Structure 1
Amino acid sequence: MKALYGLTIATIIAFCTIQCYWLYNRFKDARNGYENNLYDTVLEVMHEDYKIRRATQTPDISILTSSKMKVSSNADQAGFLTMTFEVYVVDRNTYTINDTTDMNNITRIYEQEKPEGITKYSFEVDNPPNERDAYDALERFQVDVRSPFNAAKIDSLLNKRDVEAKAITVEQADSMVWSVSRTDHPSKWHPEITVSYPYDIFEGEVVNVTVAVGMSPVIMKMLDTLLISLVLSVLLITCLIVQIATIRKQRKLEKLRQDFIHIMIHELKRPISTLKMCVSFMRNDKLMQDKESKEAIISDSYHELDNLSSYFSKLRDLTFNDVTEIPLTLSAFNLQDAIEECIEKLTIPSGKSATIDVVSHADIMITADRMHLINMLSNLLENALKYSKNKVRVEISYCESNGESIIISVKDNGFGIPKSECRYVFDKFFRSQTIVDKNILGMGLGLAYVKLLVLAHKGSIEVESEKGLGTVFTIKLPQ
């Protein structure tokens, strides 16, 4: 069993470890996919903003450009391309621009006068990725001149796509930045990504958009996987635990069965031995002629037969699966008379002295099965005598409760029951470890039998006890 427990626990731990590892990798894949979607969304927003700014009409200015290309033929820099761009931004309110042939005039005016209505920009691009990228950078610059970049517009476009930007900042790079870059911030609880987008390549202006990678969208994306995995894991672990619990229960029942048989043999052996001895005495004619001896032998025989009958009655009633199946013969009778009958039938063990007090002497009529009620009280009184020291004191009290039920209490000064064991005292075959240590024989059926009969009457029974301070049993029977 220990090996089985260990193997089961190791299996559960291994399964949970592998499952968690698999789910963690699945979560990482889902998060990476979500991060890629966020990255693509930011790029779409930047391209959309560029198209909007590019389509913006600016009638107040004109932009004239010229470009030159030079390819180095030196051995050290063979194929090295240098492109030079000159850009003139002209205020149309001051100068009239008809077509691109006015470039020479604007150049001449700027060189001679440098007026306020004309602004010149010169850019030298050394070895760009290709010519197309260089001209694309020129167009980006022109777009930014006509319609300057606005971070608030980017934030608005992101919000339309249900993406919240944590920060949108513009920075000036030391050199021209030609391509978009992405930086991941893999925090466990607050992961983020930053997309760096060059909106003006010639002037090295880059916008950094930082977006939080929310956990909720990632979890929702893998919600089906999580639920299926959780259900299967719980089901498998529950099955393993139930199997172990079932095996433990079967072992416990087997031990209870063996203990019960062992105790029952010892309990039944005593009355049978006594009866056998009485029968052997009856065969002695001289002994049977002594009237006193004859009465003693017959009395002992009746007493032991009563013990056997009591054992078999308990076993019979305890075999009922439902307390409602126990046949009850209800009648109204005097409760005090029934209690006195129980006391009269009580046999005090040798070597002990007992004082039994009936606190209440009220004339109360009770409706119950008289035989079963006497059996209940007799069992409680026998336990009080059996599980006590040499001087036993028992107190019986009873009263009516609001005319709806009758309460009977049996209090003793016995060994008591540890509070941790009180909830088990009515279980079949349960015996307190304190009693077992004192080598007091018993089958653990008495209190289970009492509770069974109380429940058959639709009543209740409670116990209050503390080790070394005695026990109080309280029966409540509805009327």
Structure 2
Amino acid sequence: MKLPFKLIAILVFISLLGIFAYQAYWLTGLYSTMKHDLEQNIVEAMRMSDYNEMMLRVEGLQKDNENHGEVEVSAGYDSDTGKSYVRSSTTIDRTDTIAKSSKEEIISKEAPQAALHTDGGLDLILRNKSTMLELATYFQRGLHSGLDIISDPDIAVYDSLLNFQLRDKGIVLPYLLEYLYFGSKTDSSYTYIDTIVSLSTPGYVPSRKATQYNYAFNIHSSRSYRLTIEPINKLVLRQMSGILATSFIILIILSFSFWFLIRTILRQKTLEEMKSDFTNNITHELKTPIAVAYAANDALLNFNLAEDKKQRDKYLNICQEQLQRLSGLVEQILSMSMERRKTFRLHPETFNLCDLFPALIEQHKLKAGKPVKIRLDIKPEDLAITADRTHFSNILSNLIDNAIKYSPEEADVVVHCRKTETGQIEISVSDHGTGIPADKQLLIFDKFYRVPTGNIHNTKGYGLGLFYVKTMIEKHNGTVTVKSEPGKGSTFTIRF
């Protein structure tokens, strides 16, 4: 079953639109995921920088020979539950001059307020990665709170570590780093924020679109780092550049493929219409000479016209002309069929053009139904070419025949043959006929194509002549061109 072209075009368009929509949905989802991961990386970089800064301070305290006290963090349940909790502590000893974890014990009495708790115990907490990270963060904050009593955070060191962490994660953007303190009155009637230290990339001034990331590093969240950085949208797109480029190339390939498919369908549809017109036309062309020859032969046989020499010669000439016409038609059709075979071969030979044209000119003058004037100009007179004599004769015959057919009332045809400075043979056939519109000149060499003339078909043809000319000239490694102007005539030039 043949689907209408419009339906095929609609299905192709819907398919292409669906692919584009899915690709856009997938890229949007990927963009959101990568942006979220990048934001998580920024927060993680702040946490790791804080941890490394804290470890550097601990290493500094290890070298101190005075006892600075004990840092302790605990986690568990409150005393109402009666459940156990975990407490770990780190002591800096002036005698050992090292920091070490002194103990980790289970206690079931008067537990401090727990940072994290669960009815299933710590074993359930440790099974969940996100919960483990949260637990580690709380331990880090607890250690931070104890360590900050001994030594204040070094914002310059933290800034250096943060810059390294961000670069390591591929985030190279200017930023503003602030060390903040959140406080309030005893009755919480008034809260305030103090900026203790502020550092930034030289020359960087945050814009209105800048994004802020806060990281509270103590148990009570009263102290925190705030990182102000420009939106990471461009950075995400830069990281997606490879995927975006690949997707764009795929979309271009798909678009071209669908366009080529539609174009091929249109060409096939046009070719099908041409074949249909050709079949109708060729049927009429075949029937006409057969009918005329049959009528002439019937008159000779049944009406005793064979005894009258004048009448007999007249009808025999009619039969001969019609048979020649039929032979020419069949010859062109067979030539097209042979040309498509892989076994098709030319048989080139060298001959003079002055030996070829006289017979062709006389033949066309005899079969033309109008006055014909053909002028031949060959320079030099002994100009010779190497080509397949039969096919080359058919090429010239087609060009001369077209010049005569498309000349109104009287045909005036000029044939020029010359050798160019580059050594090529150039043959042109000019007429003063109806001419060809500029937008149709590239199509006249297509198979089955005929220049549309509305409902008027004064000139018979089947759209094979010029296709045959172009095909055979290309087989001879030559070219054929046309220059034409409607109402003034045409000039066909072959070079090889």
Q: Partner of 1:389: helix, strand, or coil?
A: coil
Match 1:268 to one of 286, 303, 313: 286
CA positional deviation for 1:248: 4.3
Q: Partner of 1:331: helix, strand, or coil?
A: strand
TM-score (norm 2): 0.68
Call closer, same or farther: CA 1:148–1:356 in 2, change over 3 Å. Answer: closer
User: Match of 1:143?
Assistant: 151
Map Cα deviations across residues 300-324 of structure 1 (whole Å, 9 max, x no partner).
Answer: 2222111111111111110125477
Instruction: Give the aligned residue type for 1:9.
Output: F
Call closer, same or farther: CA 1:288–1:134 in 2, change over 3 Å. Answer: closer
Q: Partner of 2:471: helix, strand, or coil?
A: helix
The 8 Å contact of residues 34 and 236 in structure 2, kept in 1 or not, is answered as no
Q: Aligned partners of 2:230 and 2:54: how far apart in 1?
A: 20
Is 1:51 matched with 2:70? no
User: Match of 1:29?
Assistant: 33
Q: Partner of 1:452: helix, strand, or coil?
A: helix
Q: Aligned partners of 2:421 and 2:271: how far apart in 1?
A: 43
The 8 Å contact of residues 46 and 215 in structure 2, kept in 1 or not, is answered as no
CA positional deviation for 1:203: 8.3
Q: Aligned partners of 1:436 and 1:320: how far apart in 2?
A: 33
Is 1:415 matched with 2:422? no
TM-align CA RMSD: 4.3
Call closer, same or farther: CA 1:39–1:331 in 2, change over 3 Å. Answer: same
Is 1:293 matched with 2:311? yes
User: Match of 2:401?
Assistant: 382
User: Match of 1:215?
Assistant: 236
Q: What does 1:266-415 align with in structure 2 at a 5 Å threshold?
A: 266-283=284-301, 287-322=305-340, 325-347=343-365, 352-360=370-378, 362-363=380-381, 364-402=383-421, 404-415=423-434
Q: Aligned partners of 1:324 and 1:136: how far apart in 2?
A: 87
The 8 Å contact of residues 317 and 326 in structure 1, kept in 2 or not, is answered as no
Q: Aligned partners of 2:155 and 2:259: how far apart in 1?
A: 68
Map Cα deviations across residues 218-274 of structure 1 (whole Å, 9 max, x no partner).
Answer: 427x94x9969976x788777766665565454444323221110001112221122
Instruction: Give the aligned residue type for 2:183.
Output: S
Match 2:273 to one of 241, 252, 255: 255
Instruction: Give the aligned residue type for 1:215.
Output: V
Unaligned runs of 5+ in 2: 71-93, 95-112, 117-137, 185-192, 195-207
Call closer, same or farther: CA 1:450–1:205 in 2, change over 3 Å. Answer: closer
Q: Aligned partners of 1:5 and 1:135: how far apart in 2?
A: 69
The 8 Å contact of residues 172 and 205 in structure 1, kept in 2 or not, is answered as yes
Q: Partner of 1:423: helix, strand, or coil?
A: coil
Map Cα deviations across residues 367-424 of structure 1 (whole Å, 9 max, x no partner).
Answer: 3333322221111111112123224322110012358432111111222222222222
Q: Partner of 1:413: helix, strand, or coil?
A: coil
Instruction: Give the aligned residue type for 1:424.
Output: L
The 8 Å contact of residues 164 and 212 in structure 1, kept in 2 or not, is answered as no
Q: Aligned partners of 2:455 and 2:356: how far apart in 1?
A: 32
Instruction: Give the aligned residue type for 1:456.
Output: K
Call closer, same or farther: CA 1:216–1:382 in 2, change over 3 Å. Answer: same
User: Match of 1:116?
Assistant: none
Unaligned runs of 5+ in 1: 66-97, 99-126, 179-189
TM-score (norm 1): 0.70
Map Cα deviations across residues 131-160 of structure 1 (whole Å, 9 max, x no partner).
Answer: 997995464264227x56456524543345
User: Match of 1:451?
Assistant: 470
Rg larger in structure: 1
Match 1:13 to one of 17, 20, 34: 17
Q: Partner of 1:424: helix, strand, or coil?
A: coil
Percent identity, please.
Answer: 23
User: Match of 2:183?
Assistant: 175
Q: Aligned partners of 1:28 and 1:156: how far apart in 2?
A: 24
| Equivalent residue pairs, number | 403
Q: Aligned partners of 1:241 and 1:235: how far apart in 2?
A: 10
Q: Aligned partners of 1:230 and 1:267: how far apart in 2?
A: 52
Q: Aligned partners of 1:165 and 1:245: how far apart in 2?
A: 49
User: Match of 1:157?
Assistant: 164
Q: Aligned partners of 1:266 and 1:175: how far apart in 2?
A: 103
Call closer, same or farther: CA 1:32–1:23 in 2, change over 3 Å. Answer: same
Instruction: Give the aligned residue type for 1:408.
Output: I
The 8 Å contact of residues 140 and 199 in structure 1, kept in 2 or not, is answered as no
User: Match of 1:460?
Assistant: 479
User: Match of 2:203?
Assistant: none
CA positional deviation for 1:339: 1.6
Q: What does 1:188-199 align with in structure 2 at a 5 Å threshold?
A: 193-198=211-216
